[in-house]
Amino acid sequence: MRLVLLLGEREYDLGSQEALASIRSALPRARLVLVKKTTRWYRWNARALASSVEKVLNVDSSHPACVAAVLGALDGRSVDGVVAIHEDCLRSAAAIAAARGLGSPDASVVETCRDKLRLREVLSRAGIGAPASVPCTTVGQAREAAIRLGLPVVVKPRDKAGSTGVMIVEKADEVAAAFSLSQRCRWSESRSEEVLVEPYYPGPIVTINGVVWGGSFSLVATSTKKTCWHPFFLTSEDQMPAAVPQDVEAACVEAVRRGCRATGLVQGVVHAEVAVAGHGPRILEMTPRPGGGYVAPMVRAHSGVDLFALAARIAVGLPPDPPPREPARHVVGRVLRSREQGVLTDFRAPSAGEGIEAVRWTKRRGDRIGAPPGDFFAELGFVVASGRTGIEASDRLERYVGVVRAAVGERGLLGRSAVLLRRIARDERLLHGLASFLRARALPPRWS
């Protein structure tokens, strides 16, 4: 069987490699076609990559031109499944699947989930809780919507993900800045310049991870999500299982179960975020893919379920067949960020200790560290810890994070040299050509 795997550019390289390893383990005999704009030579082992995939296509998986590039490279060869690991390449995956007569991911489901306004309309028609959303194309419309809904409100892009461009507005004179930010934050595959104004829910956010097979939804894990960097919504921490009363958790799970039916999602992995409001759960996000960042490592540590493996099996028409659930452990994941902006000049972290399930660093010395509203992807990395109780897991996490050291600065020889070296290493005009030259001779594409 042949599986096309699309990886987004916004996911850190190690995360992409782990997803690839999980899929290879789940489908050891499958021929994998990897689609990713860049596989940088200093972060990807070319020979190891060649041994695990049939072909690498260095095209932007989020750009509309990706579909034609993939179909052209396949040149009529059979495809049994398509998997999108990241949000920004879901549309490309659905288009490739449709062109090859595959039912998953379904283009209609993807479009509904990617378009926040459309998702809210579909959910509301089915009687499922969703935020009252007002689409706006001008600052004046946004200001009127904010006043009508009642401050504070949330201003967000219509078809983005990862809380990019999302901002809380507490005063009417803050609407213009929030509107401008949301309009600027667009991806290459964005299809709308509209900005949405919605009520702000100050309560907990419950994350639901599940799998749908034959139209039947099965819960995999729940967590409680925390955010930081007010007035923005950067992910800070998740606690698994969700730290909410059982009846609240059950109501959130049921909302997502009904949401899958309403959107037409009958097959695939689903990740959703649900706001706990006084008048019932409100689905904020729902998408047919595994959760990003630390979600997959957290689920694996919590219950032994590999979300990437599930997604791959379903894509090629195999039943999910999750491993037997072990006694679930309490798991806490935290995204590490620096309050300082500049160049990462020093970074030190200990090796993983007892109960530390995953440590992933997305920045290196010499990398630029930003902050919203200029940079929504400036995290240093994340840590996942487990324990017999939530308190034990949190204590282990705190002990590890407490000895992590990061220094950020703008001046000094080390900072300037690191930036220069990093720029040289990332000069695509020089290195991409060299890598292509070597790859074409040492690692020719294989089709069999």
Looking at the domain assignment, is residue 339 inside a domain?
Answer: yes
Same structural domain, 12 and 51 = yes
Helix axes 295-303, 307-315, angle to 10 degrees: 100
Do 217 and 74 reside in the same domain of the chain? no
Q: Which residue has the tokens 């487990």?
A: 386
The mean of the pLDDT values for the chain is: 87
Q: Is the dihedral of CA 429, 431, 437, 439 positive or negative?
A: negative
74 contact partners, CB below 8 Å, separation of at least 6 = 4, 33
**pLDDT at residue 198 tops 50:** yes
Do residues 163 and 266 share a domain? no
Is there a domain that residue 16 lies in?
A: yes
What would the mean pLDDT of 272-299 be, rounded to a whole number?
A: 94
Q: Taking the model in full, what pTM does it have?
A: 0.88
Higher pLDDT, 45 or 5: 5
Provide the pLDDT for residue 117. Answer: 96
Residue 205 pairs in a beta bridge with 225, 275
Residue 427 lies in a domain: no
Give the model's pLDDT for residue 9: 65
In a domain, 438, yes or no: no
Give the SS3 label for residue 345.
Answer: strand
Residue 447 forms part of a structural domain: no
Q: Is the pLDDT of residue 440 over 50?
A: no
In the predicted model, is pLDDT for residue 328 greater than 60?
yes
How far apart CA 368 and CA 342 sit, in angstroms, is 6
Question: Both tokens of residue 165?
Answer: 């461009």
User: Which residue type, as a one-letter code, is found at position 303?
Assistant: S
Q: Which two tokens stand for residue 118?
A: 């459309």
Q: How far apart are CA 57 and CA 39, in angstroms?
A: 10
286, 264, 315: which is closest to 6 by C-alpha? 315
Q: What is the CATH number of the domain that holds 19?
A: 3.40.50.20
pLDDT band (50, 70, 90) for residue 14: confident
Question: Which of 402, 373, 397 minimizes the C-alpha distance to 384?
Answer: 397
Residue 87: the pLDDT is: 87
Residues 20 and 78 in one domain: yes
**Highest-scoring range by mean pLDDT, 54-63, 233-242, 357-366:** 233-242
User: How far is 157 from 159, CA to CA, in rounded Å?
Assistant: 6
Residue 441 has pLDDT above 50, yes or no: no
Best-predicted range by mean pLDDT among 44-53, 212-221, 314-323? 212-221
Residue 252 lies in a domain: yes
The H or E element that residue 55 is part of is strand 55-57
Report the pLDDT value the prediction gives residue 75, as an integer from 0 to 100: 87
Distance (Å, rounded) from C-alpha 157 to C-alpha 190? 10
Contacts of 324 (CB under 8 A, 6+ apart): 304
Which structure tokens are listed for 153? Answer: 């409100």
Which one is predicted more confidently, 203 or 48? 203
212 and 190 in one domain?
Answer: no
Evaluate if residue 444 carries a pLDDT over 50: no
For residue 372, give the CATH number of its domain. 3.30.470.20
168 — pLDDT class (breaks 50, 70, 90): very high
- Say how many CA atoms lie within 13 Å of 212 toward its Cβ: 27
Q: How far apart are CA 305 and CA 246, in angstroms?
A: 22
Name the residue with tokens 């998997």.
Answer: 83
Cα–Cα distance measured from residue 93 to residue 84, given in angstroms and rounded to the nearest whole number: 6
* Same domain flag for 251 and 367: yes
Q: Encoding tokens for residue 362?
A: 């997305």
- % the chain with pLDDT above 70: 87
Flag whether pLDDT at 16 surpasses 90.
no
If one counts the domains in the chain, the total is 3
Residues 188 and 310 in one domain: no
Q: How confident is the model at residue 322 (pLDDT cuts 50, 70, 90)?
A: low
Closest among 184, 189, 151 to 169, alpha carbons compared:
151
Which residues are paired to 155 by β-bridges? 167, 197
pLDDT of amino acid 434 = 58
**Domain shared by 174 and 228, yes or no:** no
Does 187 share its domain with 216?
no
Q: Assess if residue 118 is contained within a domain.
A: no
What range does the domain containing 184 cover?
132-199
Higher-scoring residue by pLDDT: 39, 355: 355
Q: Which long-range contacts (CB under 8 A, 24 or more apart) does 143-146 make?
A: 143/172, 143/175, 143/176, 145/197, 146/172, 146/175, 146/197
Are both 174 and 214 inside the same structural domain?
A: no
Q: Which residues pair with 317 in a beta bridge?
A: none
pLDDT over threshold 50, residue 398: yes
In a domain, 234, yes or no: yes
The verdict on 240 and 160 lying in the same domain is no
pLDDT tens track for 90-135: 999 999 999 999 988 999 999 999 999 999 999 999 999 999 999 9
Q: Which of 110, 97, 101, 70 is nearest to 289 (CA)?
A: 110
pLDDT at 323: 56
Q: Which of 77-91, 132-146, 204-218 has the lowest mean pLDDT?
A: 77-91
Q: Quick one: what percent of the chain has pLDDT higher than 90?
A: 61
Last residue of a domain, one of 199, 228, 245: 199
Q: Report DSSP letters for 324-337, one per residue.
A: PPPPPPEEEEEEE-
150 vs 166: CA distance, rounded Å: 17
Which of these ranges, 12-16, 36-40, 101-105, 220-224, has the smallest mean pLDDT? 12-16
Residue 154 sits in the same domain as residue 74: no
> Does residue 177 sit in helix, strand or coil?
helix
